[in-house]
Amino acid sequence: DAGVIQSPRHEVTEMGQEVTLRCKPISGHDYLFWYRQTMMRGLELLIYFNNNVPIDDSGMPEDRFSAKMPNASFSTLKIQPSEPRDSAVYFCASSLREADTQYFGPGTRLTVL
Amino acid sequence: EDQVTQSPEALRLQEGESSSLNCSYTVSGLRGLFWYRQDPGKGPEFLFTLYSAGEEKEKERLKATLTKKESFLHITAPKPEDSATYLCAVQVSGTNAGKSTFGDGTTLTVKP
């Protein structure tokens, strides 16, 4: 398997623009996680899905953030409108079962000017 | 609230100089403790899972141990290629059993 795939790898945008990050989990994995990593706050869980259903979105910072998982092989994290403080590396991870090892993608480095 | 604290924040070693990284946790009902390695510009990479106090896992120069309050990652005779940030994470029993709480990591630098 190719592992978790994320796109784009780098995104530079201007404040106020919409940003969409994409993730393809490992085939057969039932859980999908979105994280944000910054120097100040470390690795933070934003939201996670089980069998395409959102389970916990308490880490989503505000209404500007939304995530969807329309099928087992694709998820998106959308920020609208984006702000400079959203600049971070966003990781997607997937796991086979609950409380199992999470496999991380390479991340998307987002810069909002 | 579940808490995970890693120490030290940064560690500089000479090649061959063994040491340990610490991960202390305060959770209600530990289900598993995970160690990951993260290289610059990459996602965390899984190293070990520990489930119960007294458990130990080894891989090459790394050995992870677990007690009821903390975990140690022992590095024996490290090499420069062991330089990375090491993250620990906990998962708990209950409603959000699929959710991981990560520590802030220890950045290890091994000088040749």
pLDDT in tens, A77-108: 999 999 999 999 999 999 998 778 899 999 99
Tokens of B29: 């009902």
pLDDT at A1: 65
Give me the sign of the Cα torsion angle A23, A29, A32, A37: negative
pLDDT at B97: 67
Q: Which residues of A touch B98 (CB under 8 A)?
A: 31, 48, 50, 55-56, 95, 98-99
For B9-56, how does the pLDDT look when each residue is reduced to its tens digit (9 = 90+)? 999 999 999 999 999 999 888 889 999 999 999 999 999 999 999 999
User: Interface of chain B against chain A, CB under 8 Å?
Assistant: 31-32, 34, 36, 41-46, 49, 87, 91, 96-105
pLDDT at B95: 67
Q: Which residues of A touch B32 (CB under 8 A)?
A: 99
Q: Which residues of A touch B43 (CB under 8 A)?
A: 4, 91, 93, 104-107
- Whose tokens are 């920020």? That residue is A79
With CA atoms as reference, the chain A residue closest to B88 would be A43
Q: Does A113 touch chain B (CB under 8 A)?
A: no
B89 pLDDT above the threshold of 80: yes
A66: CB partners within 8 A, 6+ apart: A60, A77, A78, A80
Q: Which residues of B touch A3 (CB under 8 A)?
A: none
Maximal CA-CA distance, chain A: 38
**Residue B104 and residue B66: Cα distance in Å, rounded?**
18
Distance from CA of B103 to the nearest CA of A (A): 8
Provide DSSP, A7-31.
E-SEEEE-TT--EEEEEEPPTT--E
**Residue A11 and residue A94: Cα distance in Å, rounded?**
22
Mutate to test the interface with A, among B23, B35, B99 (most CBs of A within 10 A): B99
pLDDT at B49: 94
B86, B78 in Cβ contact below 8 A?
no
Cis status of the peptide bond prior to B78, with omega within 30 of 0: no
pLDDT, mean over chain B: 93
Q: Does A69 touch chain B (CB under 8 A)?
A: no
Tokens of A28: 């057969």
User: What is the percent of chain B where pLDDT is above 70?
Assistant: 97
Nearest to A31 among B41, B98, B103 (CB): B98
pLDDT, average across residues B91-98: 75
Q: How far is CA A91 from CA A12, A113, B42, B44, in A?
A: 16, 20, 9, 9
SS3 category, B26: strand
B106 pLDDT above the threshold of 80: yes
CB contact (8 A) between residue A45 and residue B49: no
The total of other beta-carbon atoms located within 10 Å of residue B7's CB is: 14
For A20-69, how does the pLDDT look when each residue is reduced to its tens digit (9 = 90+)? 999 999 999 999 999 999 999 899 999 999 999 999 998 998 899 999 99
pLDDT at A35: 96
Give me the sign of the Cα torsion angle B65, B71, B77, B80: positive
Q: Which residues of B touch A56 (CB under 8 A)?
A: 96, 98-99
Tokens of A93: 């991870």
Give me the sign of the Cα torsion angle B39, B43, B47, B52: positive
Residue type, B92: V
pLDDT at A55: 92
